[in-house]
Each structure stands twice: as structure tokens, then as C-alpha cells.
């Protein structure tokens, strides 16, 4: 009987994953990953509540339960990476880095050392023989955040929810009478719950100063709170009133300026060419410039798949030309390459 260690977050998705695996005859152990415990301002971190919910699930399913503490490594590998990226003027994706460095590296290694044959998580994705495929539920599909996971890690991973709709998962949770069956989904930063990114960054960045918000005509239309807080394509939270809505088109960290436009068709908001660095390919030695068949690109979670016209190698990584322009290509974010259902890899937008 294969031993599977399931990452229990306290949420319903991971709980259902554990329940299904036990029902299928696996020797299941529930594991809570403690990645963050600090309060953000006046908002307490919900980790203790999450831990208790995860433990309740394990007790209900009558499976062993343990906690792995990755808090120090998490700060070093994910949080510090995020802070440094924002300081440099780009917009990182901590969820991608968390999967790469923590869940499918440190967590996987720790579980294998403790006797697991496989790990499982509540991600909506599919994997087969080290390859990654989109989930059945298009709205919940999380392959965008998983593209940096290695082939070797995927070979030791099970995604029990890959062929289920979210509505089905809720019904399964009720069938198993899971204690968290009606728990709401958590939103916000991946590791600190309902805290906004601006509030979080203010804990670690104390050298921000206000500066000018400049429109497409070179006119100062407002004042920002610190250029690092703004991201390309952002519309909300600019504090620029009156007339048409403004969208962020760029920023200059040296001049401490944020650039916006009120023209949704402004060329600065749209691009059909992306430059990628830190390219990761799931299957080693696969040349993304030589894959037969139509490839597609996803520029952010839940963004539509856009047909790729060409992929060229560059000194930094890859240059991708699309069949149509996309809005708000954002430096620091991930661009992921698909062949319809399969994920081949991707890189960081520069």
C-alpha cells in the first residue's frame, strides 16, 4: 500500500483530497505546513485556526497528522524574493515561488524522508508520468502557478481534484461529513490570508515617498504613495478622480513616477511580444522553440489562452510573439506556455 502524505491547509480542497485518497485505499497521512505566523498590523495571522481545522479533518478521517515548520525557509525563499522584487519595480508572483521552493521541494523532500512514497495537494491540476495538464474545472485550474514544478517532483505528486468541478468537491466534502465542508475559500496573499499586498509591504519597506502620477499627455494628475505599490494595468486604488478611469502603463523607480493613461486602447497598455527570463521547462531538454503543433500562452491566472505565433531563443531566455496583443503585460509576472491541455513551462516577464 502506497504511503501518501497530503498537505492539509485547513481548507476544503485539501481535506477532500485526503478523504478521496483514503477511500481509494492509500495509506494517508495529513501534514500541515506552517509557513507564516506573524500578525500584519492589527490583523492576526490565521495559522492557528488553519492548523486546528486541518487537525480536525485528520481526526475525522482517522489518519495520522503532523506539522512541518518551514517558516524560516519560507521567508528566505518566498517572502524576501517578493519584497526584493517589489523594491526593484517589478510585480512578482509569490504563489509560483511557493510551489517551486516550498510545496514541491522542501515539503516533498521532508515527506519522502519521513517514509512517504508520494505527496498530494488540493491543487486543481492533473499530472501523468511527470507531465502537467490543466484541470477539468477551467475556473479553478491552478496550472499557471505550477509551471515551475519539476518533472521529478510531479512524478511523486497526486492531484486528486484534477478531474472534479468545485461544486462536486463541495458535495464530496458533505458526503464525507468533513468538519470544514462549508468553510469559505481564503483570499488575499497566499500566506497571510485576508491582508492586502500594500499593507504587507509596508511592514518591510519604510523608504517609500509620494510622487507624481503622470498621464499619457505628460500632465500630473495625482500623487502616488510609493511607486513600488503599483502594477501595470492597475485601475483601482490610484486616487485619481474625475473623468475616465486611469490605468497604470509603467513606472520609473529612480524618478519615483507612475505613468497612467485614460485611453484603454493606448499602445503602452497592449503588447503582442513578450520577453521572458528565468525560463523553466517541465520536461528536461525539451526545446520550446521546436515543438510541433499550436502553442498557447497564459499571462496571468484565469487569463485566456492566446495563440503563439513564434518562440525564439534569446540571451536572456525567450521572445514570444502572439497572434493578438494582450493587455497589461507586467514585468515580474509569469507567462506560461501550453499546448491546449498540457503545460510545457514558462518564464518571468521582463
Angle, in degrees to the nearest 10, between helices 47-61 and 12-23? 20
Active centre residues (catalytic): 98, 190
Could you give the 3-state DSSP secondary structure of residue 100?
helix
Q: How far apart are CA 274 and CA 35, in angstroms?
A: 33
- Count CA atoms within 13 Å of residue 205 on its CB side: 23
Distances (CA, A) of 52 to 20, 45, 48: 21, 13, 6
**Which ranges of the chain does DSSP label H, i.e. alpha helix?**
12-23, 47-61, 71-74, 80-88, 94-98, 107-113, 151-154, 166-175, 197-201
**Cell matching residue 61:** 478521517
Q: How far apart are CA 126 and CA 132, in angstroms?
A: 6
Q: Give Cβ neighbours of residue 290 (< 8 Å, ≥ 6 apart).
A: none
8-state DSSP, 288: G
Q: What phi and psi values does residue 13 have, to the nearest 5 degrees?
A: -65, -50
The β-bridge relationship of strands 334-339 and 317-327 is unpaired
Q: How far apart are CA 20 and CA 12, in angstroms?
A: 12
Q: Find the helix or strand (DSSP H, E) in which 128 lies.
A: strand 126-128
**Cell matching residue 182:** 462549508
Q: How far apart are CA 135 and CA 30, in angstroms?
A: 23
Amino acid at each position: 500500500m502506497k504511503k501518501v502524505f497530503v498537505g492539509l491547509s485547513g481548507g476544503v480542497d485539501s481535506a477532500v483530497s485526503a478523504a478521496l485518497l483514503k477511500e481509494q485505499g492509500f495509506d494517508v497521512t495529513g501534514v500541515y505546513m506552517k509557513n507564516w505566523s506573524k500578525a500584519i498590523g492589527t490583523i492576526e495571522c490565521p495559522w492557528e485556526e488553519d492548523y486546528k481545522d486541518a487537525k480536525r479533518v485528520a481526526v475525522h478521517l482517522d489518519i495520522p497528522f503532523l506539522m512541518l515548520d518551514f517558516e524560516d525557509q519560507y521567508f528566505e525563499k518566498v517572502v524576501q524574493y517578493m519584497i526584493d522584487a517589489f523594491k526593484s519595480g517589478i510585480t512578482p508572483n509569490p504563489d509560483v515561488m511557493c510551489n517551486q521552493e516550498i510545496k514541491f521541494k522542501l515539503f516533498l523532500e521532508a515527506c519522502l524522508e519521513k517514509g512517504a512514497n508520494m505527496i498530494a495537494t488540493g491543487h486543481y491540476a492533473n499530472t501523468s508520468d511527470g507531465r502537467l495538464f490543466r484541470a477539468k474545472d477551467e475556473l479553478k485550474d491552478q496550472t499557471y502557478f505550477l509551471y515551475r514544478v519539476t518533472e521529478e517532483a510531479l512524478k511523486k505528486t497526486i492531484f486528486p481534484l484534477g478531474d472534479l468541478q468545485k461544486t462536486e468537491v463541495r458535495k464530496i466534502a458533505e458526503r464525507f461529513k468533513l468538519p470544514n465542508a462549508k468553510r469559505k475559500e481564503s483570499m488575499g496573499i497566499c500566506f497571510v490570508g485576508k491582508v492586502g499586498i500594500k499593507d504587507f509591504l509596508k511592514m518591510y519597506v519604510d523608504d517609500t515617498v509620494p510622487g507624481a502620477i503622470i498621464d499619457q499627455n505628460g500632465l500630473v494628475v495625482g500623487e502616488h504613495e510609493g511607486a513600488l505599490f503599483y502594477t501595470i494595468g492597475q485601475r483601482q486604488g490610484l486616487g485619481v478622480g474625475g473623468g475616465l478611469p486611469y490605468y497604470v502603463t509603467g513606472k520609473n523607480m529612480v524618478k519615483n513616477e507612475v505613468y497612467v493613461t485614460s485611453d484603454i486602447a493606448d499602445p503602452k497598455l497592449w503588447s503582442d511580444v513578450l520577453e521572458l527570463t528565468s525560463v523553466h521547462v517541465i520536461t528536461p531538454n525539451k526545446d520550446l522553440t521546436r515543438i510541433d503543433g499550436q502553442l498557447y500562452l497564459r499571462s496571468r491566472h484565469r487569463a485566456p489562452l492566446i495563440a503563439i505565433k513564434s518562440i525564439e531563443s534569446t540571451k536572456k531566455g525567450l521572445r514570444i510573439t502572439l497572434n493578438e496583443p494582450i493587455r497589461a503585460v507586467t514585468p515580474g509576472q509569469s507567462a506560461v506556455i501550453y499546448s491546449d491541455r498540457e503545460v510545457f513551462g514558462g518564464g518571468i516577464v521582463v
